[in-house]
Chains A and B, each alone.
Chain A
Amino acid sequence: MKRSLLPWLVVATVLLLLFPMAAEKFYLQLVTKIMILAIFALSLDLLVGYTGLVSLGHAAYFGIAAYTYALASQAADPANVWLTLPLALAASAAAALLVGALVLRTSGVYFIMVTLAFAQMAYYFFHDTRIAGGSDGIYINTRPDAHLPGLDLADDLHFYYFVLALLAIVFALLAVVLRSPFGRALQGIKANEHRMRALGYATLHYKLAAFVLAGTIAGLAGYLAAAKEGFVNPEMMAWHQSGAVLMMLILGGMGTLFGAVLGAFSYVLLQEWFSTLTKHWQLLMGGFIVAAVLLLPHGLIGLHRLRIKSRAPRPEGDGD
């Protein structure tokens, strides 16, 4: 299964590397945005697809890192990436640790509702207090500076490759983590938590570690989103955001890293397409989501799997 996706992965990487040569500014920015959301979707995939924890509040960690970065870079000079990025990631990780310790006491449908409720708490915290511009949000005047020779993040093309590199790093990191004993234990927890506990695994600690790791990676996506837009507001943590990223996973196919990335691309492109058709694109999106749940139980990746399955029993294959 994994092997059969490898060529696609190579093709996708090459396409993304070459894409800026052919693209106008609008599309360059669009794909940058999609790659940021792909990082976000990958982080949620670790929880939903691999550990079996359906979080409906993942946007909180996305937003907390974005806000941390925004608050830390209010000076006129560009903020230093090597200072603000660790700070933003630490803020998201700390929030995920605190919330995770509470929400992991519950499971199943409670878990869904409680993660949503805590995300909403973060939302209201930034919405109702004047810490960072309240419901209006705040502007960030400059893109951060990575202080690397030849790299100017204020340039959209440089920023594109910066995001692409981080997407590749996150993808590789998760691929390694999932092959490690830790990752195997998470997948064991998804399949049968009782058995894992009986085997002597402290499943709560594993789940908490996954929750914090996922929150931190979501924070990376949030940091990049804030740096790209130069603007943060509470809507970044709104539950529509958490729902949308969950939809990306389902669309692409959860429990596969490639599916998460594919889902981010399909979701945003679909959204762009719908919004060119009508002002009321949400109607189409809602209808599409309902139809996808009823008709596509395994996501787009599932179509690929289906094709392989329908081929397998045939005595003579068609060559590949």
Chain B
Amino acid sequence: MEWLIQILNSVQYGLLLFLVASGLTLIFGIMGVINLAHGSFYMIGAYLAFTLSSLTGSLWLALPLGIVLAAALGLLLEWALISRLYRRDHLYQVLLTFGLILIFEELRSVLVGDDVHSVAIPAVLGASLPLTETLSYPVYRLFISAVCLALAGLMYVTIQKTRFGMMIRAAASNPEMATSLGLDIRWIHALVFAAGVALAAFAGMIAAPVSSVFPGMGNQVLIVCFVIVVIGGIGSLKGALIASLLIGFADTFGKVLVPEFASIAVYLLMAVVLLFRPRGLFGRA
């Protein structure tokens, strides 16, 4: 039964990572921008959950408010800064978004301080499912997995089955052609970026009650998401999903079996994939 708990934890962690990694891989796949600040959006989400839920008294109110704020931040950033990076070398994208990380971390320190905070699990989901007489599993973690799965499904349907998804795919595969057919690429880029920011922030918000809210939480997630994107292949949502789950398992079981080397397990997995598939599992050659 203990194994069941670890498996459920692995899936939950993996799916949560997928929400962050999917935005990262889409933003790269469609705009060709490598965004180091993506982890900051996760951090911002968690702090929004903390601030808004203590203001409004409920995580349920904080979630929609936070998503709107995060999406607005995404639109603003894309318009003011990110859109200027599309045609520039990756080096400058790395640097500008590195600068953004410093700004966001410091703003966080100025506005909320450097303490570790916790966010209460909503009362409705506060229960635990009994597995055996001594072991139980928190309902809230199952809720996280379910929401992430639903979002993954929604993302798939949007991109593969809707008209807007078709525009996104057109803009990704041939921007010039898409523009000459009358698509407003700038608008598509802005929306995709804002959606990526909102997804990462949402992941931070729903993770806040289980992971607590602390400085530097964004960087930790960012680098793991880089590993996911590398393993899955840049621009591939399917790859990101599978790699997220792989990482979820590697990390969770690593912590149980070899605690000192758990953080390294994730990178070893990446090294092995690189040896055999330098472009990732689902990367385009």
Contacts and interface: CB of A to CB of B under 8 A. Distances in A.
A97 to B, nearest CB: 14
Contacts of A285: 99, 102
B94 A54 contact: yes
A280 B274 CA distance: 40
Main secondary structure of the interface of B (DSSP, over half): helix
Interface residues of B, number: 44
Contact of A289 (B91, B96, B223): B96
Interface in B225-283: 226-227, 229-230, 234, 260-264, 267-268, 270-271, 274-275, 278-280
Given A110-B234, A110-B279, A293 B95 contact: yes
Contacts of A22: none
B263 A124 contact: yes
A145 B101 CA distance: 41
A117 B96 contact: no
B99 A116 contact: no
Given A114-B230, A117-B267, A239-B223, A290 B103 contact: yes
Contact of B106 (A102, A283, A290): A283
Contact of B267 (A120, A288, A289): A120
Nearest to B32: A109
Contacts of A286: 99-104, 106
A66 interface: no
A128 B220 CA distance: 14
Nearest to B280: A110
Nearest to A56: B94
Nearest to A124: B263
B140 to A, nearest CB: 28
A184 to B, nearest CB: 22
A243 interface: yes
A283 to B, nearest CB: 4
A102 B95 CA distance: 24
A113 B230 contact: yes
Contacts of B34: 109, 112-113
B275 to A, nearest CB: 7
Contacts of B101: 286
B128 interface: no
B162 interface: no
Interface string A114-144: 1011101100110111100000000000000
Q: Give the secondary structure class of A's interface.
A: helix
Contact of A108 (B84, B90, B96): B90
A247 B95 contact: yes
B24 to A, nearest CB: 10
B16 to A, nearest CB: 19
Looking at A56, A250, A292, the one whose CB has the most chain B CB atoms below 10 A away is: A56
Interface in A1-50: 48
Contacts of A109: 28, 34, 90, 234
- Most chain A beta carbons < 10 A, residue from B84, B102, B261: B102
A309 interface: no
Contacts of B267: 117-118, 120-121, 124
A105 interface: yes
B96 A290 contact: yes
A287 interface: yes
B116 interface: no
A280 B99 CA distance: 14
A246 interface: yes
Interface string A96-113: 000000110110111011
Contact of B91 (A48, A113, A120): A48
Contact of B226 (A117, A129, A294): A117
A289 B110 contact: no
Given A54-B94, A109-B234, A117 B270 contact: yes
B154 interface: no
A288 B96 CA distance: 10
Interface of A: 48, 54, 56, 102-103, 105-106, 108-110, 112-114, 116-118, 120-121, 124-125, 127-130, 239, 243, 246-247, 250, 280, 282-283, 285-290, 292-294, 297
17 contacts: A105-B278, A110-B230, A116-B223, A120-B267, A121-B268, A128-B262, A130-B260, A243-B94, A243-B95, A282-B102, A282-B105, A286-B99, A289-B98, A290-B81, A290-B103, A294-B81, A294-B96
Given A54-B91, A113-B34, 13 more contacts: A110-B278, A113-B226, A116-B226, A117-B227, A120-B267, A129-B260, A243-B36, A243-B94, A243-B98, A280-B109, A282-B105, A293-B95, A294-B96
Interface of B: 28, 34, 36, 81, 84, 90-92, 94-96, 98-107, 109-110, 219, 223, 226-227, 229-230, 234, 260-264, 267-268, 270-271, 274-275, 278-280
Nearest 8 Cβ contacts at the A-B interface = A289-B99, A286-B102, A286-B103, A124-B263, A121-B267, A283-B106, A282-B106, A105-B278
